[in-house]
Structure 1
């Protein structure tokens, strides 16, 4: 590693060790670059897979323990079986696809941060100083609201949703500042937060529920603002969380497969999207069955769920 030498707290090193015990294809390393900008944001690290492992590079060293532990906890959650998101569909325009993926990832991370932040606080990796630097990061990201509607509404909403997760019970320390600078966005974010996080996020199943709920609530807000919705329930694949019983049911009982107007990003062919019947969320994407006949779809629908998912290499999580 060619970066700077940084001494990390024992709790951060323990997280790195935990990750390496589970990481399946080599070793996870931390590298340190950059200076100290004076605030913390979640864009201050990068990940790069290389032969033999994964490199997590911190690109700002304002709070290396906070940033490193944040990245490690995200990775640890995936290794422990929390839902992932995948982008298997394309609208046919690279720039639009990229915008959709960024916003979907932001919403997904808001949900995942409920666990990440709890763990960081449990390990005493979030201090009053870091809380102040997080607020400074918000100030560096957003301009203050004015009297006129501007094009930052969506960014403010995403940023403040994440802030509500980060501050949690400590929100009273910064609420006056946020309310003075972003009164409308804060009110909207608090309303969405109350609806999305009405139950504890204490399992992969509960996490998936919150992710899907955020996707839907965000689109409802886009409609209210007369802005284009993201349609993440179709565009973004969320790995399904299924019980042993559901895995034994037929595909037809658990999923509805429909032809999307979007293409399969990998194959470029017509995409068929598998929606969970209970929440209408994209759970997998496949190409049209060979021949594309009604008989082949009847056969596909009759397969046991686990057999179908395994046959197509579709990742899923078994609900405990």
Structure 2
């Protein structure tokens, strides 16, 4: 089966099997639309832990499969993950907010994944043309009040990431077909491109900054904010020095209007003092007396001790 793919893709399959220590299988579909989109593959985890990567469109299997494999590997190479620990209490609203957060998060992952694919020789002129064809095929031109502005902005932002900000080949066409969305995408891309993204720490910083920039953009087009800095939990990345600091030096723990998704309990959010991003969620203690003592104990603890006692995922900055 592996002989069907480019040598670089075979190596990624082997790496995934080695890192995950379980079977990683590939299933190819029969459809080939002639262009590529990042939604043409998905991971399916089986009850026994094995994983199947379904490539639903075979227009460019090497590109699409390698993209999905690199997503899989990124999650196992100490890059912060997003978590949906909180709920607004409204299922449809939750799903919309989570979907937007996933798209923003994935845009940043594509900075790293795209660089890896280019290093592996898996992005050539044909791939670039197929990617652009996919955008033009699936992203309709703007119409007044058609309520697709967020969808377009996220797709065009991902396009700028794919082309590393080089927009000469499509700039005039995008300005004609997507004037408002392309302007928004360029504004958000500037946030991502401001600093290199080459480590778990810089990756997390870029996600936080993109979350922070997204709400002002939404407001600029008359839409409600997502408040992803509080709704979405993003794993922390700490230096050894930060791990030794007291919790009060690194975090503010705030009572949230949102509830814990798993059990409906009232939630407290650990917001980083430097970036105001949700890094962990804990349940509220039973009563006022217990609450005061509980939070005093937490604030006195080192970051490392607290994270380990609470079984909260975090990453050590190298």
Fold conserved between structures, TM > 0.5: yes
Equivalent in the alignment of 1:298: 296
What is the aligned partner in structure 2 of residue 122 from structure 1?
119
Match for residue 200 of structure 1? 196
Question: In the alignment, is residue 312 of structure 1 matched against residue 299 of structure 2?
Answer: no
2:157 maps to: 161
Quote the offset at 1:195 in angstroms.
2.6
CA distances 1:95-132 after superposition (whole Å, capped 9, x unpaired): 11111111100000111100100111111111222212
Write out aligned runs for 1:1-320 (5 A). 7-24=4-21, 26-50=22-46, 51-146=48-143, 148-168=144-164, 170-291=166-287, 292-320=290-318
Is the Cα–Cα contact under 8 Å of residues 201 and 317 in structure 2 kept in the other structure?
yes
| Number of aligned residues | 315
Using the TM superposition, give the Cα deviation of residue 34 of structure 1 relative to its aligned residue in structure 2, in angstroms: 3.5
TM-score, normalising length: structure 2: 0.95
Distance in 2, matches of 1:187 and 1:52, equals: 43
Q: Pick closer, same or farther for the CA change 1:23–1:104 going to 2, 3 Å.
A: same
Cα distance between partner residues in 1 of 2:2 and 2:57: 13
CA distance in 2 between partners of 1:88 and 1:34 (Å):
37
Q: CA deviation at 1:289?
A: 3.0
Aligned mates of 2:30, 2:82 — CA distance in 1? 29
Cα contact 2:111–2:162 (8 A) shared by 1: yes
Give 5+ residue unaligned stretches, structure 2: none
Contact 2:160 2:166 survives alignment (8 Å): no
Residue deviations 1:144-183 (CA, integer Å, cap 9, x gap): 124x243111111111110000011653222232222112
Distance in structure 2 (CA, Å) of the matches to 1:108 and 1:218: 12
- 2:142 match: secondary structure: coil
Q: Distance in 2 between matches of 1:52 and 1:233?
A: 31
Deviation string for 1:236-276 (max 9, x for gaps)? 11100000111111111111111111110112111111111
State whether residues 165 and 189 of structure 2, in contact with CA within 8 Å, keep that contact through their aligned partners in structure 1. no
Unaligned runs of 5+ in 1: none
CA distance in 2, matches of 1:177, 1:170: 14
C-alpha displacement of 1:301: 1.2
CA-based RMSD:
1.6
Give 1:27 shift: 2.2
Task: Give the whole-Å Cα distance in 2 for the aligned partners of 1:194 and 1:233.
Answer: 19
Contact 2:41 2:53 (8 Å CA) reproduced:
yes
1:67 CA displacement: 0.9
Deviations 1:169-200 (A, max 9, x none): 65322223222211222122112211332011
Paired residue secondary structure (2:252):
strand
Distance in 2, Cα, partners of 1:290 & 1:310: 22
Secondary structure at the counterpart of residue 173 of structure 1: coil
Specify the SS of the correspondent of 2:4: coil
